[in-house]
Amino acid sequence: MDKRTWIIFGVAVIAILAGLIAFSRQSSVNVDGVNHSTVRTTGDENSTIADQIFGKKDSKVTLIEYGDFQCPGCGTFHSNFAPVMDEYKDKITFVFRNFPITQIHPNARVAAASAEAAGLQGKYWEMWNILYGKQNEWSSLGANVRDAQFEKYAMQLGLDVTKFKEDVASDKVAKKINFDQSLGKNNGVTGTPSLFLNGATLATDKYSSTDTIRNTLDAALKEAGIEK
User: For residues 216 and 206, is the Cβ–Cβ distance under 8 A?
Assistant: yes
**Residue 219, pLDDT above cutoff 70:** yes
How many C-alpha atoms does 4 have within 13 Å on its Cβ side? 0
Confidence of residue 158 (pLDDT cuts 50, 70, 90): very high
The domain ranges of the chain are 1-30, 36-223
Residue 27 is predicted with a pLDDT of 60
Residue 182 is predicted with a pLDDT of 95
Out of 4-8, 97-101, 189-193, 216-220, least confident range: 4-8
Mean pLDDT on 45-66: 91
For the segment(s) 36-223, the CATH number from 3.40.50.460, 3.40.30.10, 3.20.20.70, 3.40.50.300 is 3.40.30.10
Which pLDDT tens digit goes with each residue over 132-143?
Answer: 999 999 999 999
Which pLDDT tens digit goes with each residue over 107-129?
Answer: 999 999 999 999 999 999 999 99
Mean pLDDT on 159-173: 97
Beta-strand pair 93-98/62-67 = parallel
